[in-house]
Amino acid sequence: MFSSDWITLTLDYDRSTTEFSGDDADRYTELLDLKDDYEYLLVLIPALSSSAAVTPYIQKDAEIDTVPIAMVVLDADATGHFAHATSSGGGSLGVIFRIGATRFLRLYCDANQGADRVFYVKGFNRVVFGT
């Protein structure tokens, strides 16, 4: 297995600047650069001020103003998808997302957060490839 180091990723709820069209500081984390392309992302979800579905939003580049898009993985029979993990306000949840050879991403909470939230993330691949 090949993995990144643990990286902290912050949702700064009182961030005053808009980074991309549609940005919402109460819901999106800062932009994350995993430093390589990874197939999977392990996310340790903290306690949240409002229960939320947490979804990885991917980007094709490292530009702050690039609008991220939700990463969706179809299931085996293509009748549904695995897009997110729902977290209660209690947190203490580890989730593995399939991110499809992505390097740049943000996490999105579908409910406003009333305080800063710090997520711990680690990209990994089942086999060694990349740089």
Tally of domains within the chain:
1
Mean pLDDT for 75-97 is 70
Cβ neighbours of residue 22 closer than 8 Å, sequence gap 6 or more: 67
pLDDT, one tens digit per residue, over 89-100 is: 677 788 899 898
For tokens 């989730």, name the residue: 95
Domain range for 71 is: 2-125
The domain that holds 60 is classified in CATH as 2.60.120
pLDDT, one tens digit per residue, over 102-123 is: 999 999 999 999 999 999 999 9
Residue 31 is predicted with a pLDDT of 97
Domain for residue 72, yes or no?
yes
Question: Partners of 33 in the beta sheet?
Answer: 104
Residue 53 is predicted with a pLDDT of 86
